[in-house]
Amino acid sequence: MNQEFTDYYNSNIALLERHHPDVFKQMTENPPKAMGTVFPAPNGMPNLKITDSQGNPIFFHYEQNPGKDSLDFLDKIEADHKGFVAILGMGLCYSALKILKERPKLQRLALFELEPGIFIQALKNIDLSAILKDPRLILSIGSENDISDTLAPAYRTLNFEDANLLHHKPSFNFNHKGYTQLKDDLFSHINSVNVGGTTIRALGKDFLNNRFSHMSTIHHHQLLENLQNKYDKIPAILVAGGPSLDKNIHLLKQIQEKAVIIAVDTVLPALLKNNVHPHFLTCIDPLDLTFEKFADLAPQIKDIALITASWVNPKTPKVFPADQVFWTFTAKPLEKWLNSLVGGKLLTGGATTVAHLNLIAAHILGCDPIVFMGQDLAYPNSDSASHAKGTVLQGTAPTETITDHVHGETVIGIHGEILRTDRAFLSMKEFFESAIAKSDKHHINATEGGANIEGTQILTLKEVIAEHCKKEIHTTNSLKEFYSTAKPISIEKITAEFDHILHTTKQLQKTIKNADAMAKKVFKEIKRLKNKKKQIKAFDMFPTKQKKQINQIDNFHNAIDKEKTIWKMLEEITMEGLKNSERQKQDISIIENDPDRYIDWFIMNIDRLSDINTTRKETLSLLAENLDMILSFQRDEKKYLTRIAKGEDPEQNKLKLTRHYVLSKNYHLAKNLLEELAKIMPKSGEVNFYLGCYYAQFNMDETADNYFQTAQKYDPELSRAIELFLQQQADKFLSSAVYFKMEPGRELSVKYLLKKGLKYQPDNGGLIKELGIILKKDLETIKSDVEKNTYETASLITEWYEFAISQKKTVKLISPEIVGNIFLYKGKFFLSEKDYTNALLSFQSAIQYSPDNHKIHSGIIDTQFTSGDFNSAIESLNRAIELDKKFADYWETIGDSLHSAGQSEDAIIAYENCFIHLPENIHLLKKIGDCYMATDQFKAAKAAYQQLKLKMEAINEKTDGKKSS
């Protein structure tokens, strides 16, 4: 230990033993080695430095002032926070010490440190008595602790209060993978106990961030309103993903260019499988996870335009290979403002599903008739399908059988039948029926089954084709022509307005800061007056100084409230704060007219304004970040484009523009530039790296891997960047899988996401752990099926068999016994199909993983005997007997078979082989004697029978002796 500091280890460890016995036991039974070096900062405080695996030094606290990061964390926790805070990574515990001291109303503080060696340094060098004695502290050291067990003391707090997760950045830098996994697991646990969470305001922030993200690149796209009535009186086929789609999807190929085909993103795999290319694909989901619905289809996607709402996830319009992207905006204040900035005039009703956007788009395009297909809005009674075949990330339908309207949610089908449904489908149905009622278009329901949609004519798709789809309209080419000649969206108005709003936002932030500072002074003085029992029953009774300060606070808040445009735009994410403010107003109104409680009333109002300002500061900070991001993006893009247009060092400026696009994840904008640069600069490691990143996102593993290898060849230092990119992709899939794990009926989605993630990083521990849980469960189901000899799980067996073959790197990290069972059960399936060659190959693969598994040896022997390969079977049997002599029972089975076939002499040999290894099986002597009799060898038969008699007598004597004793 560094001798410049006091050694606190003994005092700290004593407190640890008293207050955290499990951690004490962990740290003392097998003491970890202290990590890194503790050294004095300029202000004399201890700091910690550790060298990472790349040889880079990581300082775990600010070099000049190690205690500063505790102040950074403290600023993120409201002064009166009554809930839960978790710190991921601790360093020398400065933050925990500060938070527990300065946030006395906090109910629980959980401290997670994955490296016990770092905790040792804290125990030695810092006086931790204040936090180790504090009953609010929850301590988790190392990576093996179960989160649910660790946070059990905070269960009630997590149920009823908000939670903050704080990330110690140096800890994340040192162990990014471990802390990212911990973060995901914590989020999963917190969600499972229904915590609200103050650090993330659910989708409100996502919607805001998404909308602004698109404004950086929307000038490369078009507004859907620019296509208004372009397809007047042309039929539109709206394709949704209900299970009925399987019945008529094949017919769409006939009308590829005789109608406008608008499809929800979910069904793209099913359409392409049937060689149908929709003209438009609709997408509105705010989560990046949606991209997975079509991520594997890039090589097949051709001439498909994207229609999307302004809150859609950024990944879809930035990566999906669509040369034509069309945007829609609703009448919400923020969207209305953004729409005006890009020259839009048409505002749509809110589309809560992609199917709704299908209908909105068809109405804007002027299509007539408008035809629904796959729009079931109900669950079929015959099976558990909820979506058409080929769709990705879908759940399963409920399994109850509906016989009347009493049991659960039901709806009348197009044929008058009663169908199962749910409230979400009923809400969708109401939207369609309302929109249809307001429209002058002809609407047809060509869904093969499903709910009846009021206002539609019911026809089959064949009838629609025959009656309405007779003329070639060449939709694909007409869209290309429009897009190539359309006037681009100007960015001048966007940048000017955003610059103005950013200036206003910063002024607001200053005003709020001044208001809070003044309120703090007033609050302190009024508290002092109250403690002195000063009688103040009206505003005029305050001292002159306080009256001036209060008037100044009012002026500040009047100035803040005047910026109605900004607050209207941010209403989605300030809603919760405003709701709390209204609740506080109600509480305040109770004592408003009581002169004796005037000071209490005043203090409560100061508190309420402070709460409002806390929400406003958060949202303004978010707004400022987004505005700054967009202005920065536009400025740099314009700079590089201008240089390229002037012919200034075009090669390097194209590379800089490409880098600009890639860093902002605008991969589709970068693609053409990358392909051009790859020809000009084939030995550029950076260009090849970017191309690898692009193709990796479309599951084009081999292509991506080739680019990554080329990148490393020309620039070996890119190895770490490639590794980090693949790890980030894998971690995203893990996070999404954990998210879906909490939702009922999403088991298949979870499995899909885990497997997909492992393609990026085959050794990702978190993905392997979660997939292992599913694999064990599936193998139990398969085992039960195999034992019944029904093989109803054949597809499930095949799924895991193909995974084991294709993902060899991952398989090496799974329990060999489990992997052996995959090949065992697949072998049994092949054997049931009389496919002896593949059965034997599967069993032989199984035995490589689990050489002592008796069932695998039995499978090999059974297969070889059944297929007539007796010599190999006997060799396998002899090897199995070496493992366990009980396998000699097979010789008896062979002997029985030979004897019944009249080959008694061969049967004798088999029985004798069995008897040699299992002499306790004396019944074999009778079978041997019977075989000798069958071959007229009477003396030999007699000898066998006599030997049997002697052994039976010996057994009887032994038994009688035991009875008499």
The model's pLDDT over 55-109, given as tens digits with 9 standing for 90+, comes to 889 999 998 889 888 888 888 888 878 778 999 999 999 999 999 999 887 888 9
The pLDDT of residue 963: 56
How large a percentage of the chain has pLDDT more than 70?
Answer: 92
CA 674, CA 670: separation in Å to the nearest integer? 6
Instruction: Of 19-23, 569-573, 743-747, give the range with the top mean pLDDT.
Output: 19-23
Rounded average pLDDT over 755-779? 92
How far from chain centre, in Å, is Cα 387? 20
584 pLDDT band (50/70/90 cuts)? low
The pLDDT of residue 391: 63
The pLDDT of residue 536: 85
Range of weakest confidence among 128-137, 521-530, 808-817, 826-835? 521-530
Q: Greater confidence, 288 or 44?
A: 44
Task: Kindly give the interhelix angle for 794-806 and 765-788, rounded to the nearest 10 degrees.
Answer: 140
Residue 791 parent element (H or E): none
Q: What are the structural domains of the chain?
A: 9-199 (3.40.50), 207-485 (no CATH), 492-561+575-618 (no CATH), 884-965 (1.25.40.10)
The pLDDT of residue 203: 59
pLDDT tens-digit series, residues 813-855: 998 999 999 999 999 999 989 999 999 999 999 999 998 888 8
Helix, strand, coil % (nearest 5) of the chain? 60, 10, 30
Residues 6 or more apart whose CB falls under 8 angstroms from that of 602 comprise 526
pLDDT tens-digit series, residues 709-722: 999 999 999 999 99
**Structure pTM?**
0.68
Residue 779 has pLDDT above 80, yes or no: yes
Contacts of 762-767 spanning 24+ positions with Cβ under 8 A? 762/807, 762/809, 762/810, 762/813, 763/809, 763/810, 763/813, 764/177, 764/727, 764/730, 764/731, 764/734, 765/177, 765/181, 766/181, 766/184, 766/185, 766/731, 766/734, 767/730, 767/733, 767/734, 767/737
156 pLDDT band (50/70/90 cuts)? low
Residue 244 parent element (H or E): none
The pLDDT of residue 33: 93
389 pLDDT band (50/70/90 cuts)? low
CA 281, CA 479: separation in Å to the nearest integer? 13
The pLDDT of residue 961: 62
- Helix or strand or coil: residue 276? coil
The pLDDT of residue 403: 38
Instruction: Of 301-315, 402-416, 738-752, give the range with the top mean pLDDT.
Output: 301-315
The pLDDT of residue 538: 86
Residue-averaged pLDDT of the chain? 87
Rounded average pLDDT over 339-355? 86
pLDDT tens-digit series, residues 250-303: 999 999 999 999 999 989 999 999 999 999 999 998 888 778 888 888 778 888
pLDDT tens-digit series, residues 316-326: 999 988 889 99
The pLDDT of residue 398: 40
The pLDDT of residue 400: 44
The pLDDT of residue 399: 41
Name residue 48's amino acid.
L
Q: Where are the alpha helices (DSSP H) in 664-760?
A: 667-680, 685-696, 701-714, 718-741, 747-760
The pLDDT of residue 564: 86
CA 53, CA 688: separation in Å to the nearest integer? 26
Report the DSSP pairing between strands 410-412 and 418-420: antiparallel
How large a percentage of the chain has pLDDT more than 90?
Answer: 50
Q: How many helices (H) and strands (E) does the chain have?
A: 41, 18
CA 730, CA 722: separation in Å to the nearest integer? 12
Q: Cα dihedral angle (85, 88, 91, 92), rounded to 10 degrees? A: 20
Range of weakest confidence among 156-160, 266-270, 471-475, 954-958? 156-160
Residue 201 has pLDDT above 50, yes or no: no
The pLDDT of residue 654: 96
Instruction: Of 218-227, 407-416, 695-704, 859-868, give the range with the top mean pLDDT.
Output: 218-227
The pLDDT of residue 406: 35
Instruction: Of 116-120, 399-403, 782-786, give the range with the top mean pLDDT.
Output: 116-120
Residue 199 has pLDDT above 50, yes or no: no
Range of weakest confidence among 163-172, 550-559, 569-578, 787-796? 569-578
The pLDDT of residue 546: 87
Residue 421 has pLDDT above 70, yes or no: yes
The pLDDT of residue 13: 94
Angstrom CA distances, 36 to 61, 63, 179, 312, 645, stand at 13, 15, 19, 45, 52
Residue 138 has pLDDT above 60, yes or no: yes
The pLDDT of residue 869: 85
Q: Are 874 and 854 in contact (CB under 8 A)?
A: no
The pLDDT of residue 746: 79
